[in-house]
Amino acid sequence: MRVHVIHAHPVETSYNRALFDTVCSAVRAKGDEVDALNLYDEAFQAVMSREERLAYHEVPGNLTSLTKPYVDRLRACDKLVFVHPVWNYGYPAILKGYFDRIFLPGVSFVLEGGDKPDKGKLVPAMKNIKKVAFVTTYGGDRFRTMVMGDPPRRLARRWAWVTFGTKTPPKYLALYDMNNQSPARLSAFIDKVRTTFSNF
C-alpha cells in the first residue's frame, strides 16, 4: 500500500510537525510505503492563477507542469492522510490552495451528463483512494469550536467523504485547546496517532 501524507505547517519544531512525523513513521513501521509531502518545504504555490482558472474545466488541459506532479502523486496512492493545524476555524491557506489547485475536474471529480464542460452531475473520480484521514490541532477549545460549527471537522466528515467516495467516512483525530494541554496530554495524543496509523 502507498500512503500519501500531506502536511501543512511552516515550523519544523512545531507539535504539528511531530504529528506528521509520527504518522509517517507508524505507516512505515506497518510496512506500507510513504509518500510524504510537506507543502511549506516544497514552497507550494497556493494561489490559483488567472490562466489556471480560465482553463479549470478543460480536461485534461487544466493540468499544467506545476500541478501535474501533485496530481500524479494523488493518483499513485491507495490511502491519504492530511496533517494540519486549524487556524481561524479553517484550513491553513496553503492547504486550501492545494485543494483549489489540485482537486480539479478530471482529477477529483468529473461532470457527467451536461451539455457544457462546466455542467452536469458531479461524480467522484479518485477511485484509487480507499482510506482517508485527518490529523489536526486546534487552538480553541472543543466547546467554543462547536459553537462555531467546527467547519474543519464537518468538511472532513462530509465534503471529504463525498469527494473521495470511500466506503467509510474519513478518520478525524483532533486535539482541541492544544496550547493549554499538559505535556502528558500532548504525549498521549501522539501515542493515539501512532496507534491509529499502525493499523490504518
**How much is the pLDDT for 57?**
92
Indicate left, alpha or beta for 14 from its phi (over 0: left) and psi (-120 to 50: alpha). Answer: beta
Q: Is 103 helix (H, G, I), strand (E, B) or coil?
A: coil
Residue type at position 17: R
**How much is the pLDDT for 102?**
97
Q: Is 118 helix (H, G, I), strand (E, B) or coil?
A: coil
Domain count, the chain: 1
**How much is the pLDDT for 194?**
98
pLDDT tens for the 200 residues of the chain, in order: 999 999 999 999 999 999 999 999 999 999 999 999 999 999 999 999 999 999 999 999 999 999 999 999 999 999 999 999 999 999 999 999 999 999 999 999 998 887 788 888 888 899 999 999 999 999 999 999 999 999 999 999 899 999 998 999 999 999 999 999 999 999 999 999 999 999 99
CA atoms in the 13 A half-sphere facing the CB of 47: 2
Whether the Cβ atoms of residue 1 and residue 27 lie closer than 8 Å to each other: no
**How much is the pLDDT for 138?**
97
pTM, 2 dp: 0.95
CATH of the domain at 119: 3.40.50.360
Q: Which domain holds residue 71?
A: 2-197
Looking at the DSSP bridge assignments, the partners of residue 120 are 113
The CA distance from 44 to 138, in Å, is 23
**How much is the pLDDT for 56?**
94
Q: Is the dihedral of CA 147, 148, 149, 152 positive or negative?
A: negative
